[in-house]
A and B are shown apart, each in its own frame.
Chain A
């Protein structure tokens, strides 16, 4: 297992753990999609929105630059465009883990 594999598995596990605690179901997309790694869904919430959904791309990077206001790191243009596009029924977010190798 490479360092990158470890980072990937860890970031997925972390996202699932947080979601599970919040009683949100997590699935992976049926059709291979470069820009979506996980789908979060809360079933039948009874609120204004039925079964709210959110899709996420998960990234774990150690190439980030941190300032007091933001975290900056490089992202492929294709992924960037697909994340910020409004052309989806279910909105997408980017989950980013910043790791530091010790």
Chain B
């Protein structure tokens, strides 16, 4: 008889606790929106208490990613077992312990992971969904451009969104190009390695608050005996990590160079910053992000993958305020004017031929060079010259590749090659 009474008392205790939990989460959801208005990079997403029960999601979590996550969040391994380990997190107020399965082939892997998530939920006071999301990003560097000009709605107009996401892509492309070779300007045709990077890096779900784009740059983990916290300039750095590091350094270089340029009135500090990865392409991408994001500047936050450590000499967050933008516009313009770009593509119509009758001559094509409207002069001979004459007479658009350079007041395409007629353009006429 006493056994039943004992059990009844425990049951009522349990119910009492549950009621408190529900109330607390309601308050947390409504209170959060106001607090989030100016939150820089500590985001409290939904406080929805969701317990992940989906075996597929749980089984997809990789033990080594969990290990990296735990280490980065103050946990340490306390006792190793055959296919798992006990991990401990000690703080002044409270100690937490969890049993981590290390072999995803274990029969009870899913339930063990579920228990780990429950402990982490309690220890970190945030939802399991958020934790799992962060877990997915453990083996990646995450770049988050924040656009304060978009209000706290957490949404963008279709028009804005298209600009913002395209420019975010261009931002990473400029960084990837700089990771290969530092130049003030990159031609329309980008190196294959940079284009490959665009296929590996991903857009993640945006964060709430003023619109925050999430760019995930995957990083293969470093295998070494000791886990260094700050990464030395190692001889081998995976391309993806180098790209993000160059981006961080370039953004910081922009921050200081812009101040100097504003004070001295000279573009030289920006030119010097090319060494740190600054280019016209990077400037234009930042300008595009600012424009699409409402014109209140862009703030970049970097989360470095714990599996590779934090690169030295980088800072997070880096804020580029609206007053920086005019200098970036001027920098991009100057870099485009003065740089000689190899592999520039010119598309347009032949408007002028200097020597219609002879073997060679100067040809002027009016159209675009690397997408920018220009009138370009080039020297053609032989077959190419014949084609140019034909194109001029029949008014057929042409395409050509070479080194674009400024000479006095004109634009010149040196070493013009691959001169071709775009017949498809006039087929309908």
Q: Which residues on A are within 8 Å of B, measured CB to CB?
A: 13, 16-17, 20-21, 29-33, 36, 39, 44, 50-51, 53, 55, 82, 85, 87-90
Q: Across the interface, do B97 and A31 meet the contact criterion of CB distance under 8 Å? A: no
Query: Are the CB atoms of B114 and A89 closer together than 8 Å?
Result: no
User: Does A30 lie within 8 Å of B53, measured CB to CB?
Assistant: yes
CB < 8 Å neighbour of B78 from A20, A50, A53 = A50
Q: Name the residue of chain A whose CB is nearest to the CB of B95.
A: A44
Is B112's beta carbon under 8 Å from chain A? yes
The complex places the Cα of A87 from the Cα of B107 at a distance, in Å, of: 6
Residue from B99, B101, B107, B115 within 8 A of A85 (CB atoms): B107
Cross-chain contact A87 with B7 (CB below 8 angstroms): no
Contact B107 A17 (CB under 8 A): no
- Asked if A31 and B3 make an inter-chain contact with CB atoms under 8 angstroms apart, the answer reads no
Candidates A20, A39, A44, A85; contact of B10 at CB < 8 Å? A20
Q: A30-B115, A36-B111, A82-B107 are in contact. List 4 more A-B contacts (CB 8 A).
A: A31-B111, A36-B108, A50-B99, A89-B81
Of the candidates A16, A21, A53, the one whose C-beta lies within 8 Å of that of B99 is A53
Q: List the interface of chain B (C-beta within 8 A of A).
A: 3, 6-7, 10, 51-53, 55, 58, 78-79, 81, 83-84, 86, 97, 99, 101, 105-112, 114-115, 118
Q: Which residues on the A side are within 8 Å of B3 (C-beta)?
A: 17, 21
CA distance A53 to B105 in the complex (A): 19
B111 lies within 8 A of A33 (CB)? yes
> Cβ of B7 and Cβ of A89 under 8 Å apart?
no
Assuming the contacts A20-B10, A50-B79, A50-B97, asked whether A30 and B108 have C-beta atoms less than 8 A apart, the reply is no
State in angstroms the CA–CA spacing of A31 and B86 once bound together. Answer: 21
Give B57's nearest chain A residue, CB to CB: A31
| A39 to B7 alpha-carbon distance, docked (Å) | 18
Kindly report which residue of chain A lies nearest to residue B4, judged by CB atoms.
A17
Specify the chain B residue showing the minimal Cβ separation from A53.
B99
Contact assessment for A51 and B99 in the assembled complex, using a CB-CB cutoff below 8 Å: yes
Does B106 contact A31, Cβ atoms closer than 8 Å?
no
